[in-house]
Amino acid sequence: MSSHVVVQDGCVVSDQCSAMDVPWWSFTKTVIAAAALVLVRGGHLALDQPLGLEGYTLRQLLQHRAGLRDYGAVAAYHEAVARHDDAWTPAELLERARGSELAFQPGQGWAYSNIGYLLVRRQIEWAAGAPLGEALARLVFEPLGIRGARVAMRRDDLANVEMGTAQGYDPQWVYHGLVVGPLRDAAFLLLGLMSGALLPRELRSAMLDVHLIAEGAVPGRPWMSPGYGLGLMVSDTANGDRLAGHTGGGPGSVVAVYHALSSRGARTAAAFSPGSDPGVVESRCAALLRDEAGLKT
């Protein structure tokens, strides 16, 4: 079932099935980045201190500039997920994906890496002294008043989640962690994050300090100048709006949550749909934000 929601200045202004639980897929990266930056704010983590022998930093991990590979290119991973196998251990995953080998030197390129966010998860758990679910609740959900979101750890945790065609999915396949919850919670979380309810101005500015990924329009998607900040995808659209948020997808569904940076009012939209085309939910968010601004889509 498709759903969408728009929240503006803390109020729901558009709503369709937004209270049902859905997988947030890679919007979880935005939540993880927010938690990491709360720990930076408190002096428990540092953005630019080298981590380990490879020399990459937390900032580079959050921005996919650490040089780490991704497991999305491992055919056996997709085959195992399609068979509804139990997830591999993180150690097996890293071995199969050659996770210890850098594709480029830290800071010298850009490559989307779920493995990088697995390492950020480990940094958060170490600094917070708690498993990811407890850390996200304490650092992000509770301060922003988000009550319905949680980290799914077992198949049973997805029993009442709208998973599209991915019934029986093992959430451990999402190695950085899979947040699930109401779509409206995802929108309220991003609205609070972008409106300054969690982080000071300098850390919000760091999140929005964008590394340009490509120039020009992306076919089938609303983006004209896609870039990546710290846990945020940021781009201008063909209509001249500038949006920040994150798209996510997994077996059976796609989700997008975006905030209008170019608006005078605080507006955030989220959309969820069965299928595999991220352009569908991204374009829906872009159109919803234009509609709520009283502008022609």
User: 163-167, 200-204, 242-246 — which is least confidently predicted?
Assistant: 163-167
d(CA 190, CA 246): 10
Provide the Cα torsion 198, 202, 208, 211; round to 10°.
Answer: -140
Q: What is the mean pLDDT of residues 59-72?
A: 97
pLDDT given for residue 296 in this prediction: 40
How far is it, in rounded angstroms, from Cα 217 to Cα 258?
A: 18
pLDDT at residue 10, rounded to an integer: 82
Percent of the chain with pLDDT over 90: 87
Check residue 27 and give its pLDDT: 98
Answer whether 177's CB lies under 8 Å from 27's CB. no
- Cβ neighbours, 10 Å, residue 54: 15
What is the distance between the alpha carbons of residues 80 and 86, in angstroms, rounded to a whole number?
8
Q: What is the mean pLDDT of residues 161-186?
A: 95
3-state helix, strand, coil in the chain (%, to 5): 35, 20, 45
- Looking at per-residue confidence, does 262 or 161 come out higher? 161
**φ, ψ for residue 3, nearest 5 deg:** -150, 160
Of 69, 72, 91, 88, whose CA–CA distance to 80 is shortest? 88
User: Residue 179: CA atoms inside 13 Å, Cβ hemisphere, count?
Assistant: 30
CATH topology of domain 3-292: Beta-lactamase (3.40.710)
Contact 233, 211 (CB under 8 A): no
Residues contacting 66, CB < 8 A, separation 6+: 54, 56, 57, 60, 102, 106, 113, 116
Q: Where are the domains of the chain?
A: 3-292
Find tokens 């999140």 and name the residue.
207
The four Cα atoms 146, 148, 154, 155 give a dihedral, to 10 degrees, of -140
Q: What CA–CA distance (Å, rounded) separates 287 from 297?
A: 6
Q: HSE on the CB side for 239, CA within 13 Å?
A: 20
CA distance linking residue 2 with residue 12, whole number of Å: 18
Least confident of 13-22, 57-66, 180-189, 203-212: 13-22
In the structure, what pLDDT confidence band is assigned to residue 293 with cuts at 50, 70 and 90?
A: low
Predicted local confidence at residue 263, as pLDDT: 74
Write down the pTM of the prediction. 0.96
Q: What percent of the chain clears pLDDT 70, i.e. is strictly above it?
A: 98
pLDDT over threshold 90, residue 79: yes
Q: Identify the DSSP state of 265.
A: S
As a whole number, the mean pLDDT across the chain is: 94
Classify each residue of 270-284 as buried b or exposed e, where b means 16 or more C-beta atoms within 10 Å of its C-beta.
Answer: bbbbeeeebbbbbbb
The stretch 8-29 carries a mean pLDDT of 92
Cα separations in angstroms, 277 against 138, 227, 255? 33, 19, 10
- Looking up tokens 């076919």 gives 219
Q: Where are the alpha helices (DSSP H) in 129-277?
A: 132-136, 183-194, 201-207
Buried b / exposed e over 125-160, threshold 16 CB at 10 Å, is: bebbeeebbebbbebbbeebebeebbbbbeeebbee
**7-16, 105-114, 248-257: which range is least confident on average?**
7-16
